């Protein structure tokens, strides 16, 4: 025989609740992944900044040393 209306409503509510829990779990995972990617981006930006400073220092050192090297006043 067909289920009673209260039983159907109860089943639908349970299904809805289960779907909402799954959705919230997926949302939580997505937020965690977003936070991780943001952290990785910040780390990459910091590394780039450090590399830019190192490059600038090396370029300046080369600029200063090149004339000395070519004149023989500085050793390699």
- What's the whole-number mean pLDDT along residues 65-70? 81
- Are 36 and 29 spatial neighbours (Cβ–Cβ below 8 Å)? no
Quick: pLDDT tens for 52-66: 999 999 999 989 888
Each domain of the chain, given as residue ranges in start order, spans 24-76
Alpha-carbon distance 62 to 58, whole Å?
6
The stretch 3-10 carries a mean pLDDT of 88
Residue 1 pLDDT exceeds 90: no
pLDDT tens readout for residues 9-53: 999 999 999 999 999 999 999 999 999 999 999 999 999 999 999
Q: What is the pLDDT of residue 75?
A: 65
């Amino acid at each position: 025989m067909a289920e009673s209306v209260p039983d159907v409503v109860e089943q639908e509510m349970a299904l809805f609740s289960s779907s909402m829990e799954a959705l919230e779990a997926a949302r939580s995972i997505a937020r965690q992944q977003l936070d991780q990617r943001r952290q990785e981006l910040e780390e990459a930006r910091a590394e780039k900044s450090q590399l830019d400073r190192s490059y600038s220092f090396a370029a300046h050192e080369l600029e200063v040393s090149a004339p000395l090297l070519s004149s023989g006043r500085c050793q390699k």
